[in-house]
């Protein structure tokens, strides 16, 4: 592969072959730099050069031009003990919004293009309410938060939306979801776009958790990662070579339905002994009912386990070992460099991470396991809404930033999933 990339002509050489293309080359370089900074939040000039493949001198000139035009801000910083200049998009260049529908909550965050969260709020969501009511509530919460930040609505560059179910990539339709059954068949991005009048990009919660941890949390600097969330179901968000892998039906990462035991309990998918039947709350909590009562939640199990309760510790360890079997399969197939555990279970720390690593050590091919680190998520319950912000940031185009048009103009928005 390296031999191929060495032979490939540099970008500059390709473009200057066409007469009169000097300005389009310059424009392309501007967009490359803006894109690199937009996706990373902030970068030193050396990091921009590494990310874009442009020379240090070109980066320096472009950053100066972007700074003079008000597109980026440059602040002094230090990198490796040396003085450096940190480049980020201007705080007032625009805002992005993240909306996350969960099992029992609706969470909204407003951020600027420099990756700073300006406002964030969560409220309980009635899972039996209709999807229309849910989107109305989201619209109201978004409006309230924008008002609180004092930013003009015309500055909205885009919205990222998270839903707890698979999204068909072609049609944008929400597939079957056990968490919000009444929402199946709706087109969430269209619903919210109709209410807010700005581009909306949608993805499932596991993918957004992966994006959130990659941009702000335990997955920073990693290009191959799996985010595993254990809640009412078990799902994984897969990042391959820096990009979310979805599959055509949006169902990639259904790690919860790996078969662990052919004669195990019947799963909601119709098979027996899926990973989910050994790890999801509704299968695990009944194990503790006779000793701990019926009001116990996963959060409670984790809390009691940390306080030393032997039954809860045993259940957490068993769950960890089973997740580890799934992670070992994932490891053999995709060879990720990091697995990030999200959801309530991550709060159990080593009580669950130790058994996961133990199973990975036992079942994964040693050469694949050697490159893997298993870490708890750093963002807790915020991973998905921050991932929604990251989605909005990654899907917005740069031409609007460079041309000074209203960032959220629908016609100029890049379509989702390109
Ligand atoms: Zn299943």
Q: How far, in Å, CA of 65 to CA of 119, rounded?
A: 31
Cα first-last separation, the chain: 24
How far away, in angstroms, is 166 Cα from ligand 1 center?
A: 15
Q: How far is the CA of 300 from the centre of ligand 1 (A)?
A: 25
Residue ranges of the chain with per-residue pLDDT less than 70? 1-20, 127, 178-179, 400, 404-418
Sequence-distant contacts of 72-75: CB under 8 A, at least 24 apart: 72/34, 72/37, 73/114
Residue of 239, 251, 169 whose CA lies nearest to 387: 239
The pLDDT tens digits of the residues spanning 131-160 come to 899 999 999 999 999 999 998 988 899 999
Instruction: Tell me how far the alpha carbon of residue 279 lies from the centroid of ligand 1, in angstroms.
Output: 11
Kindly give the distance from the C-alpha atom of residue 273 to the centroid of ligand 1, in angstroms, as a whole number. Answer: 7
CATH says 95-209+382-399 is which class? alpha beta
The predicted structure's pLDDT at residue 22: 82
Question: How far, in Å, from the CA of 234 to the mean position of ligand 1?
Answer: 10
Burial 363-375 (b: 16+ CB within 10 A, else e): bbeeebbeebebb
Q: How far is the CA of 340 from the centre of ligand 1 (A)?
A: 22
To the question of domain 218-378 being in CATH 3.90.420.10, the answer is no
Per-residue pLDDT at 13: 43
pLDDT for 70 equals 87
pLDDT of residue 410: 41
Given the candidates 1.10.10.10, 3.40.50.720, 3.90.1200.10, 3.30.43.10, the CATH classification of the domain at 20-89 is: 1.10.10.10
For residue 168, the model assigns a pLDDT of 87
pLDDT tens-digit profile of 349-388?
A: 999 999 999 999 999 999 999 989 999 999 999 999 999 9
Q: Where in the chain is the domain with CATH 3.30.420.40?
A: 95-209+382-399, 218-378
How far is ligand 1, taken at its centre, from the CA of residue 268, in Å? 6
Do the beta carbons of residue 101 and residue 164 sit within 8 Å? yes
pLDDT in tens, 34-59: 999 988 888 999 999 999 999 999 99
- Mode of pairing for the β-strands spanning 373-376 and 338-342: parallel
Phi then psi for residue 244, to 5 deg, are -65, 130
Q: Ligand 1 mean position to 178 CA, how many Å?
A: 12
Using the mean position of ligand 1's atoms as its centre, give its distance from the Cα of residue 125 in Å. Answer: 26
| C-alpha 270 to ligand 1 mean position (Å) | 6
CA of 185 from ligand 1 middle (Å) equals: 21
Distance, in Å, from the CA atom of 234 to the CA atom of 79, rounded to the nearest integer, reads: 39
Alpha carbon of 263 to ligand 1 centroid (Å) = 13
CA of 351 to the centre of ligand 1 (A): 25
Q: What was the pLDDT predicted at 17? A: 45
Distance 258 CA to ligand 1 centre (A): 7
Phi/psi for 372 (5° steps) reads -100, 135
Neighbours of ion ligand 1 (CB under 5 A): 257, 267, 269, 271, 274
Task: Return the pLDDT at 165.
Answer: 84
């Amino acid at each position: 592969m390296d031999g191929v990339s060495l032979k490939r002509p540099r970008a500059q050489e390709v473009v200057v072959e066409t007469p009169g293309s000097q300005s389009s080359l310059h424009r392309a370089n501007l967009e490359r730099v803006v894109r690199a900074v937009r996706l990373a939040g902030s970068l030193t000039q050396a990091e921009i050069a590494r990310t874009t493949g442009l020379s240090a001198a070109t980066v320096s000139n472009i950053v100066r031009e972007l700074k003079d035009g008000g597109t980026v801000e440059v602040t002094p910083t230090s990198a490796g003990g040396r003085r450096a200049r940190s480049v980020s998009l201007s705080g007032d260049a625009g805002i992005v919004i993240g909306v996350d529908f969960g099992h029992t909550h609706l969470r909204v965050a407003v951020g600027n293009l420099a990756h700073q969260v300006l406002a964030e709020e969560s409220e309980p969501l009635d899972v039996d309410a209709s999807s229309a009511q849910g989107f109305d509530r989201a619209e109201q919460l978004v409006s309230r938060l924008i008002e609180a930040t004092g930013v003009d609505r015309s500055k909205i560059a885009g919205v990222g939306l998270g839903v707890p179910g698979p999204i068909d990539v072609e049609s944008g339709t929400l597939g079957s979801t056990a968490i919000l059954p009444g929402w199946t068949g709706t087109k969430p991005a269209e619903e919210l776009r109709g209410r807010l009048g700005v581009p909306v990009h949608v993805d499932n919660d596991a993918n957004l958790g992966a994006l959130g941890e990659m941009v702000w949390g335990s997955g920073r600097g990693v290009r191959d990662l799996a985010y595993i969330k254990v809640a009412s179901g078990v799902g994984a968000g897969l990042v391959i070579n820096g990009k979310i892998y979805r599959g055509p039906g949006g169902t990639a990462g259904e790690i919860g339905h790996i078969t662990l035991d052919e004669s195990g309990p019947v799963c909601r998918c119709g098979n027996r002994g899926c990973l989910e039947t050994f790890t999801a709350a509704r299968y695990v909590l009944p194990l503790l009912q006779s000793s701990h009562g019926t009001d116990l939640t996963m959060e409670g199990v984790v809390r009691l386990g940390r306080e030393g309760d032997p039954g809860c510790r045993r259940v957490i360890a068993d769950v960890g070992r089973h997740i580890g079997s799934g992670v070992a399969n994932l490891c053999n197939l995709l060879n990720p460099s990091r697995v990030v555990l999200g959801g309530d279970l991550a709060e159990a720390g080593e009580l669950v991470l130790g058994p996961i690593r133990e199973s990975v050590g036992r079942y994964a091919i040693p050469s694949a396991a050697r490159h893997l680190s298993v870490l708890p998520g750093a963002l807790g319950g915020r991973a998905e809404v921050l991932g929604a912000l990251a989605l909005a940031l990654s899907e917005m185009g740069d031409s609007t930033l460079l041309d000074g048009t209203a960032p959220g103009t629908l016609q100029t928005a890049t379509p989702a999933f390109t």
